[in-house]
């Protein structure tokens, strides 16, 4: 029996509901898209790259990955990943040939010595940006080679090591690598890592060992079946003396046969909540020997005779950690807005539950409760982007200053603030994005629960980001440590870094005419007061409770993380207001008005989500709260007509969304059904298990 | 290279950390287990049933289901499901033979006419209780036959229909069924369903059709490849006149060949976030004819000549909906406590980040931030159970009264309250459980993200429960409608139902010595005030805004759902305090003290989670809040030493937890590694894709 036509859809193209939404919007999606992409050129470049890949049938999946076994999924991701890399290099070569010769050519060529961090960062954005997402909704095994292995060689290898390895690695010339730090037994507390490297002075070799089960490396992407080289973080011992954690470059599989080398125990760690294309692996060593020159020696050296030479403060490592966290804020913002686009379009197509009796069922986006689920998430994603942009600008400035002036220049002074801000925003934004994606999924009801809606992959990546590269609570506690120092400095009336100057403002909330200012200030006061309270509690535990500093820290843990969280929210709110002021000059008036509404919605939403903390530390009358609630609902109503045009402006290609519910044309039911029909389970009218099990059960008549 | 032994573990049995936890607890887990199971006999019975299944190697999985393809997963669940049903009947026969003949024998036999709702309910609890969960962490395709298909035949079929179908269905004698209500285009708003059944007077048949794509049935469990009969909800038309929704019994697959019958378009809807063993299906009809006596006619009849006869108020349908929601509260409580047990044991085994410098790394459960993530979830699960027990008791009383006195007896009067309470608790508890499971998963860091930790399956079922059998927002709005009527009645000084009498108490909060009472009262005041505010807003939209009633409802949606949510929290807090008072007589003193701490923690936690709403509607000084925060942290400290003994008391068999992180012996790392090693992907040293794709990529030297 063939599929039936959808009653409410037109024969082809977008469905009527979405067409109507687009026609009645007050903004032009294309204006938004240009702004969002960072300019017309950037937008066109991205679209060209997307067409280049998405028009190639080699990258279509015959079967949805969610229907595959875990093993098939790996093989699929590896196969497609190799095609992707080859085609991407082809693209870059073609583009270079089309462009006039310039300074960038050498960089892009990737000849020895010309591969640099900037190139790798750009490449990372390609691999995990729209095209990478579209092709690999749960990532793929070759990504870590570029995002972790190569950057580590660059930042930790000395000149000779870079000459020897970087060019080959860039060209995947017999080398595919990953980075192995976390172990089964240790994650956040890296000093506790157990893998050890003993220097054998006689043979000028390091001997790597995994002394316990809990010392097994666990998690590195691509480690399972893919990587043949690994940078390993291990405890260095020379003649029994411990010299801290060092990084070692270890070949784990034969370059020709790909067989694990003697003493190497390697495999895949198994299925996860998401990111099932990554081939995360485990790795154990038994007396694995590597030559002395495979310890990465930019920051510390072991000389042939076993002398250990420590380098200066490894500032660039610190910088890389910050960088990765900025990237993560972007990643989760991207996921949140994928989800928001899907849910918005679905809510404009789905009709359910009449508002007026006897009237036709409305689009569910007309229910105020639905608007309250969706529109704040769009606003949140946009304001996270505004914060990520600023963080990135600070990062670049600080790194530049460090390079030119060294650690004692102003860059060095700004580093602790940058570090704290990146910890805090990583923690607060991954939480906000994961929560938002969950709200959006649930806003799509049962259909949001289908894998073909793609919320599972999106949520899976956001959930992972909550934990990796700095566990959530650990990062908040690091932020709090920085804030406590600032609090003490504020008491001493010292000058404070820009992101925390509010700590010096001791005046209570005065509710004026500017609602946004009231709200932002209330959040700052709450952060400030919560910090003071945590600090007092900590003091009290020490002084009156007789606890050590460390015990007092532990006993204050809830209060400290609460302060750090509030600081993050206050920063995000204040930054959004500041960035908005900049935007007035840069975008068309209709778009500016929309962005104003979005920033306001974000700030009010942040306030309402933190209402407990806000009311704990501020006097706000119920009339003022009423005013705020009403404004919130007004904003929902004001944004409603532009909702579809707005998410169109993110310019996600349908392949990037990867969702039966979120496509541009809104043909939700056709896609749900088409995806169901191509499931391998549905290719047989009668499943063999009927004859082997169900029919016999019928016959035995329980 | 063989696996290495875990340094910190003993050669066999439980690990040292857990042994120490158990030895130092102040409660006996077995006392708790007896209370939790509802008595010694119940506990032993359950353990016996569990041994009966778990000692049978037929039910071991050679491969973890998360490694299987979607199709393999279906075949695996179906195969195991048939074995499970056969073995379960065998168990029941054996037990009957062992027990003296009694009234129950006939019931359990399942002869025609002796299958009743009580029997099916008990059977449902077996299928989805510990054993069903252990064997099918993502459920299985034959469950709906017992939980929906048979109960519908019983409650909607007339005597003749029951004689004809129920006995056969109970014995799976050529019949396996499911229940098809939701369609692609309609869920919550069932009046919008589009499937139609036209009565053909000439041939005395109904003709079923799926007029549009959106009319396809979508979701029924077991529908895809398993069921051969379906109860279908469809719009009845007789000579073109509409007679509302009726239920029809339709054969969809041939009893012998299992081929879909002519006009039937059936298949599986595809992978989901969870519940991937269920075989949820789609179903379309094209001119499918069934005889007149296959409309279920207990509540309405179509006579041969086409006359339509409506029955009295279908009260029992209403009752079934309530029943299902009570069951869901139990289901999600079960999932929450599975997750809490896993996270507690893991947190007592995992060691990370020294609290004192130079001291060994502590169990992470010693970090106060970790206690704050885990202990409140245990308390929450227990208090949800206390609410589910009460709801179940009310349900039984009301149903009994209805049966004896009819709809005008006191049972009929209590029905609206029961209905509202079941809506509200279903909504609030599914949300609280899903959120709690997420917190617990994240509290296990990276390892919580592994499928082998089993949080994904547990979370998947809880997430589904958030939406099915009454979408969350829809249920809250239904609750609010009831509450609004009570609010108006309170204004008129009428007598209010027990669960909402607090609405009549207009006095503001007076903070006394009893912290729990203060907190419970503050929650009630907040619910009451939020309801009044929503009501006023609604009135204002109508009177001053010129909106219709329905528009005013929509514009008040956020405020109404907020009121219903607060009502749920206030009820849960108050009920926990009340139930605790009952428990003093029934449990040993040490256990009672523990339960006191847990109830207090739950009530304070509820308060803190609703702090914004509480402070919006109550004056509470910062000193009072300080007192509360301190008490909260004291409770965490007080519960910490009993945490492991407490979760032991839930008496989850390791198979029920299904988690590498949560087993009784705490051998976390061994299990993670063992599970990884048996992954099919790890059975080959070199994956074939190396030769076909990775090596060629090496050779082309990008």
Which residues in chain A have Cβ-Cβ distances shorter than 8 Å to B697?
A: 82, 85-86, 172
pLDDT tier, B100 (very low <50, low <70, confident <90, very high otherwise) = low
Q: What is the pTM of this model?
A: 0.96
Q: What is the pLDDT of residue B122?
A: 80
Q: Is A469 a catalytic residue?
A: yes
pLDDT tier, A631 (very low <50, low <70, confident <90, very high otherwise) = very high
- Residues B44-93: pLDDT tens digits? 999 999 999 999 999 999 999 999 999 999 999 999 999 999 999 999 88
Find the catalytic residue in B469, B471, B593, B633: B469
Q: What is the pLDDT of residue A128?
A: 83
User: CA–CA separation, B563 vs B559, rounded Å?
Assistant: 6
Q: How many residues appear in chain B?
A: 702
Confirm if A553 and B362 have CB atoms less than 8 A apart.
no
Query: Other C-beta atoms within 10 Å of B693: how many?
Result: 19
User: CA–CA separation, A341 vs A663, rounded Å?
Assistant: 9
B287 touching chain A per CB within 8 A: no
User: CA–CA separation, B390 vs B583, rounded Å?
Assistant: 13
Q: Which of B29-38, B276-285, B303-312 has the lowest mean pLDDT?
A: B303-312
Residues 570-599 of B with CB under 8 A from A: none
pLDDT at A105 over 50: no
Q: What is the pLDDT of residue B3?
A: 42
User: CA–CA separation, B66 vs B241, rounded Å?
Assistant: 50
pLDDT tier, B323 (very low <50, low <70, confident <90, very high otherwise) = confident
Q: Which of A307-321, B65-79, B237-251 has the lowest mean pLDDT?
A: A307-321
Q: Which of A319-333, A379-393, A673-687 has the lowest mean pLDDT?
A: A319-333
CA distance A368 to chain B (A): 6
- Residues B560-587: pLDDT tens digits? 999 999 999 999 999 999 999 999 888 9
- Residues A127-181: pLDDT tens digits? 888 999 999 999 999 999 998 999 899 989 999 999 999 999 999 999 999 999 9
pLDDT tier, B223 (very low <50, low <70, confident <90, very high otherwise) = very high
pLDDT at A6 over 60: no
Rounded mean pLDDT, A676-681: 98
- Residues A13-40: pLDDT tens digits? 899 999 999 999 999 999 999 999 999 9
Mean pLDDT highest for which of A8-17, A83-92, A108-117, A419-428? A419-428
Beta strand extents in B303-459 (DSSP E only): 308-310
Is B75–A687 a contact, with Cβ atoms under 8 angstroms apart? yes
Residues 304-323 of B with CB under 8 A from A: none
CA angle A212, A213, A216 (to 5 degrees): 100
Residue of A340, A436, A375 lying closest to A659 (CA atoms): A340
Task: Give me Rg for the CA atoms of chain B.
Answer: 27
pLDDT tier, B317 (very low <50, low <70, confident <90, very high otherwise) = low
Which residues make beta-bridge pairs with B302?
B308
Which among B7, B89, B676 has CB closest to A282?
B676
User: CA–CA separation, A416 vs A315, rounded Å?
Assistant: 11
Q: Which of B141-155, B606-620, B628-642 has the lowest mean pLDDT?
A: B141-155
Residues 339-368 of A with CB under 8 A from B: 351-357, 361, 366-368
- Residues B286-296: pLDDT tens digits? 999 999 999 99
Nearest CA in chain B to A687: B225
User: CA–CA separation, B245 vs B194, rounded Å?
Assistant: 10
Query: Other C-beta atoms within 10 Å of B665: how many?
Result: 18
Kindly give, in sequence order, each residue whose CB lies less than 8 Å from that of residue B153, ignoring residues fewer than 6 positions away: B161, B162, B165, B166, B169, B177, B231, B249, B296
Which among B82, B260, B368 has CB closest to A693?
B82
User: CA–CA separation, A39 vs A33, rounded Å?
Assistant: 8
pLDDT tier, B9 (very low <50, low <70, confident <90, very high otherwise) = very low
Residue bearing tokens 């990867």:
A658
Residues 500-539 of A with CB under 8 A from B: none
Confirm if B346 and B143 have CB atoms less than 8 A apart.
no
Which among B368, B438, B452 has CB closest to A557?
B368
Cα four-point dihedral sign B36, B434, B562, B557: negative
Rounded mean pLDDT, A86-101: 82
User: CA–CA separation, B53 vs B90, rounded Å?
Assistant: 11
Q: What is the pLDDT of residue A690?
A: 97
pLDDT at A501 over 50: yes
User: CA–CA separation, B444 vs A466, rounded Å?
Assistant: 12
Which residues in chain A have Cβ-Cβ distances shorter than 8 Å to B126?
A: none
Is A211–B1 a contact, with Cβ atoms under 8 angstroms apart? no
Q: Which of A391-400, A430-439, B24-33, B193-202 has the lowest mean pLDDT?
A: A391-400
Q: What are A240's two structure tokens?
A: 């029994």
Q: What is the pLDDT of residue A2?
A: 40
Which residues in chain A have Cβ-Cβ distances shorter than 8 Å to B85?
A: 697, 702
| Test mutation, B89, B168, B174, B272, chain A, max A CBs within 10 A | B272
- Residues B12-35: pLDDT tens digits? 589 999 999 999 999 999 999 999
Q: What are A385's two structure tokens?
A: 């982007």
Query: Other C-beta atoms within 10 Å of A542: how many?
Result: 18
Find the catalytic residue in A469, A517, A533, A593: A469
Q: What is the pLDDT of residue A547?
A: 95
Is B450–A176 a contact, with Cβ atoms under 8 angstroms apart? no
pLDDT at B440 over 50: yes
Confirm if A175 and A209 have CB atoms less than 8 A apart.
no
Which residues in chain A have Cβ-Cβ distances shorter than 8 Å to B613?
A: 611
* Torsions phi, psi for B580 (to 5 deg): -60, -40
- Can you list the pairs that B688-694 forms with residues at least 24 positions away whose Cβ atoms lie under 8 Å? B688/A75, B689/A74, B689/A75, B689/A78, B689/A79, B689/A225, B690/A225, B690/A258, B692/A79, B693/A78, B693/A79, B693/A82, B693/A83, B694/A78, B694/A82, B694/A176, B694/A226, B694/A258
Mean confidence (pLDDT) of chain B: 92
Q: What are B27's two structure tokens?
A: 């409660």
Q: What are B87's two structure tokens?
A: 């073995």
Residues 621-640 of A with CB under 8 A from B: 622, 625, 629, 633
A7 touching chain B per CB within 8 A: yes
Is A449–B79 a contact, with Cβ atoms under 8 angstroms apart? no
Which among A184, A559, A669 has CB closest to B214?
A669
Confirm if B308 and B246 have CB atoms less than 8 A apart.
no
Confirm if B564 and B530 have CB atoms less than 8 A apart.
no
CA distance A64 to chain B (A): 9
Which among A353, A466, A548 has CB closest to B188?
A353
Of residues A544 and B365, more confidence is placed in B365
Nearest CA in chain A to B473: A369
Is B79–A692 a contact, with Cβ atoms under 8 angstroms apart? yes
pLDDT at A7 over 70: no
A616 touching chain B per CB within 8 A: yes
Q: How far is CA A694 from the centre of its chain?
A: 46
User: CA–CA separation, A382 vs A393, rounded Å?
Assistant: 17
Confirm if B294 and B250 have CB atoms less than 8 A apart.
yes
Q: What is the pLDDT of residue B631?
A: 98
pLDDT at B8 over 90: no
Which residues in chain A have Cβ-Cβ distances shorter than 8 Å to B216?
A: 4, 669, 673
User: CA–CA separation, A691 vs A684, rounded Å?
Assistant: 13
Confirm if B618 and B508 have CB atoms less than 8 A apart.
yes
């Amino acid at each position: 029996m063939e599929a039936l036509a959808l009653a409410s859809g037109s024969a082809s193209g977008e469905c009527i509901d979405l067409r109507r939404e687009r026609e009645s919007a007050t903004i032009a999606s294309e204006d938004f898209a240009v702004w969002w992409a960072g300019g017309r050129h950037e937008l066109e470049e991205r679209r060209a790259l997307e067409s280049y890949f998405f028009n190639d049938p080699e990258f279509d999946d015959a079967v949805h990955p969610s229907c595959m076994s875990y093993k098939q999924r790996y093989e699929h991701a590896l196969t497609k990943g190799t095609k992707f890399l080859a085609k991407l290099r082809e693209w870059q070569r073609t583009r270079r040939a089309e462009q006039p010769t310039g300074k960038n050519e050498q960089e892009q060529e990737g000849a020895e010595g010309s591969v640099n961090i900037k190139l790798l960062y750009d490449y990372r954005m390609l691999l995990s940006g729209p095209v990478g997402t579209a092709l690999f909704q749960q990532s793929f095994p070759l990504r870590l080679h570029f995002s972790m292995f190569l950057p580590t060689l660059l930042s930790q290898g000395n000149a000779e090591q870079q000459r020897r390895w970087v060019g080959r690695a860039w060209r995947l010339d017999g080398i595919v690598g990953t980075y192995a730090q976390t172990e089964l037994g240790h994650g956040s507390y890296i000093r506790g890592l157990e893998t050890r490297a003993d220097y054998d002075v006689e043979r000028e070799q390091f001997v790597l060992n995994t002394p316990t089960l809990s010392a097994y490396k666990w998690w590195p992407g691509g480690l399972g079946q893919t990587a043949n080289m690994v940078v390993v973080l291990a405890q260095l011992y020379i003649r029994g003396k411990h010299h801290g954690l060092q990084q070692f470059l270890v070949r784990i599989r034969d370059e020709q046969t790909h067989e694990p080398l003697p003493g190497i125990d390697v495999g895949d760690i198994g299925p996860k909540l998401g990111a099932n294309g990554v081939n995360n692996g485990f790795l154990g060593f038994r007396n694995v020997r590597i030559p002395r020159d495979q310890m990465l020696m930019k920051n510390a050296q072991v000389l042939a005779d076993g002398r250990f030479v420590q380098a200066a403060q490894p500032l660039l490592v610190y910088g890389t950690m910050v960088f990765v966290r900025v990237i993560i804020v972007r990643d989760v913002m991207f996921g949140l807005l994928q989800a928001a686009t899907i849910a918005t379009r679905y809510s404009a197509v789905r009709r359910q539950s009449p508002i007026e009796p006897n009237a036709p069922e409305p689009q569910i986006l007309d229910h105020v409760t639905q608007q309250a689920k969706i529109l704040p998430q769009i606003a949140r994603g946009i304001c996270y982007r505004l914060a990520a942009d600023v963080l990135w600008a600070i990062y670049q400035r600080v790194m530049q200053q460090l390079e030119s002036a060294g650690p004692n220049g102003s860059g060095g002074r700004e580093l602790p603030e940058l570090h704290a801000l990146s910890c805090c925003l990583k923690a607060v934004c991954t939480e906000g994005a994961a929560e938002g994606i969950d709200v959006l999924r649930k806003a799509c009801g049962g259909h949001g629960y289908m894998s073909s809606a793609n919320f599972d992959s999106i949520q899976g990546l956001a959930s992972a980001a909550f934990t990796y590269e700095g566990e959530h609570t650990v990062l908040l506690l690091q932020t709090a440590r920085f804030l406590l120092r600032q609090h003490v400095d504020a008491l001493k009336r010292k000058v404070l870094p820009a992101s925390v100057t509010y700590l010096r403002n001791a005046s209570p909330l005065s509710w004026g005419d500017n609602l946004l200012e009231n709200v932002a200030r209330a959040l700052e006061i709450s952060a400030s007061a919560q910090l003071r309270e945590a600090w007092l509690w900590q003091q009290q535990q020490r002084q009156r409770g007789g606890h050590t500093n460390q015990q007092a820290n532990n006993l204050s843990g809830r209060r400290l993380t609460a302060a750090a969280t509030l600081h993050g929210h206050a920063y995000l709110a204040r930054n959004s207001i500041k960035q908005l002021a900049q935007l007035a000059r840069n975008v068309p008036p209709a778009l500016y008005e929309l962005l104003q509404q979005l920033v306001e919605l974000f700030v009010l939403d942040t306030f309402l989500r933190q209402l407990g903390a806000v009311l704990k530390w501020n006097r706000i009358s119920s009339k003022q709260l009423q005013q705020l609630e009403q404004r919130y609902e007004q904003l929902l109503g004001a944004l409603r007509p532009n909702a579809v045009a707005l998410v169109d402006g993110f310019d996600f290609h349908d392949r990037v969304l990867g969702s039966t519910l979120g496509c541009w044309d809104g043909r939700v039911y056709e896609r749900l059904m088409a995806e169901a029909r191509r499931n391998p389970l549905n290719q047989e009218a009668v499943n063999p298990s009927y004859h082997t099990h169900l029919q016999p059960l019928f016959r035995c008549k329980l």
